Copies of this chain bind each other. A is one copy, B any other.
Amino acid sequence: MANMKDIARIAEVSLGTVSHVLNGTAGVREPVRRRVLEVVRSIGYQPSQLARGLRRVQTNVIGMIIPDITNPFFPAVVRGAEDLAFSNGYRLILCNTDNDHSKELAHLNELRTFLPAGLIVIPSNFSDLTAQAQSYRAAGAGVVCIDRLPKGWDGDSVTANNQSGAYRATQHLIKMGHKRLAVITGPLHLTNAEERLNGFKQAVEEAGLELPPEYVQETTFDKQGGASKTKLLLRLIPPPTAISAGNDMIALGVLTAIREAGLRCPDEVSVMGFDDLDIAEITNPALSSVSQSGYQLGMTAARILLERIAGDSGPAKHVVIETSMKIRDSVAVPVLAASPRSARATKIKSKR
C-alpha cells in the first residue's frame, strides 16, 4: 500500500508538507496543496490508522461493550451508536460481556491497547467500570455509560427515564381499575430494574393500594424468569389482576405462563411490558409496553463521546431519555369477582 513517503516523492515535496495538506495543520501554498491532493487522489492513498494512532496516542476506534448483541434490545443501541460514530469517521469494536464482569474486565484491558478515542458501555453485573474508567480518562479517552449505571458512577451517562416510565405505566393499570397489582422485576442490583420498581411502587402507593411483599418478584431479564415467577404469582390467594413486567422479555414469559395456567390475557390477567421491542406487536395479545428508544440511547451516547473527543471537558453529563406508553391489547378492565379464577370471564375490549 502506498504511504506518505510515496506521495511526497511523487509530488516533490517533503513528508511534513504532505501531512500538513492532509491534516490542515499548517498553511500550504495553493499550487502545492493541489499537487499533493492530486497525487493522493490518483494513487488512492489512505492514511494508516495504525501509524496515525500510534503517533497521536489516539485512534478513531470506539469500544462498545454490551451484555449480548443477541438480546433484542441491544441491536438498536449499537446501531444508533454506529451510525453517528461512522458518519464522524469513527469505527466500533463490539464486545459482548454476557453480564460477566470478568469478561468485561478482559475487554477493558485489551481495548486499552488500541488507544480508543472512547468507550460506550452497558455495564455488566457488579461492574468495576468506575475504577477502570478513571484510567481511560487519564489516557484522554471518554467513557459514556448507558442503560444502567454501576454503583458509584460519576461520569457521563445516558439512561431512559425508567422510574417515570414505570410510574405512568402503573398509573395506567390503576386507572383501568386494577387494585391487585404485582410486579416482576429484573435483577435489582441493576439500576434500571430498581428504578422501574420504584416507579411502580410510587404509583401504587399514591393510589393508596396495598402491595403485599409476595406481589414483588425479582428475576432475570428473560422469558423463563417471567414465566416461573408468574406461575408463582397466579397461585397466590388472591392472585393479582395485573402484572407489570420488568421488560418485554419477562412479559413474554408472563403471557406464556398465563396461557399455560388456563387463564386469558387480558380478560383475566392484564400484562404491561417495558422496552416496546418489535415483538410487542406480535404477541398474542399484542403487548402494551413502555417504549424507550434504544437507537436514541446509543446515538446520544455517541454524541456525548464525540463532544468529549472534540475537547469538551465540562462536568459529567447525565442525559435522561423520556419514555412513552404504547397501549395495545394486553391490558383490560379487571373482572370484578373476588377470585378471577372461578369468575365467568367476560371479554371486555381494552380501551385504545
Contact = CB atoms under 8 A, between A and B. Distances in A.
Contact of A109 (B46, B64, B79, B112): B46
Nearest to A63: B91
Contacts of A46: 109-110, 112-113
Number of copies: 2
Given A282-B279, A282-B283, A283-B282, A78 B94 contact: yes
Interface stretch (A67-75, A125-133, A148-156, A183-191): A67-75
Contact of A48 (B78, B94, B113): B113
A51 interface: yes
A250 to B, nearest CB: 14
Contacts of A91: 93, 95, 110-111, 114
Nearest to A68: B79
Interface string A38-76: 000000001111110110000101001000111010111
Interface residues of A, number: 44
A284 interface: yes
A284 B282 CA distance: 8
A1 interface: yes
A139 interface: yes
A102 to B, nearest CB: 13
Given A53-B50, A54-B54, A96 B112 contact: no
Interface in A164-198: none
A267 interface: no
A252 interface: yes
A300 B93 CA distance: 20
A144 interface: no
Interface of A: 1, 46-51, 53-54, 59, 61, 64, 68-70, 72, 74-76, 78-79, 82-83, 86, 91-96, 109-115, 139, 252, 278-279, 282-284
The 4 closest A-B pairs by CB, nearest first: A284-B284, A94-B94, A50-B54, A49-B113
Given A50-B114, A91-B111, A278-B279, 4 more contacts: A72-B75, A82-B95, A86-B96, A282-B282
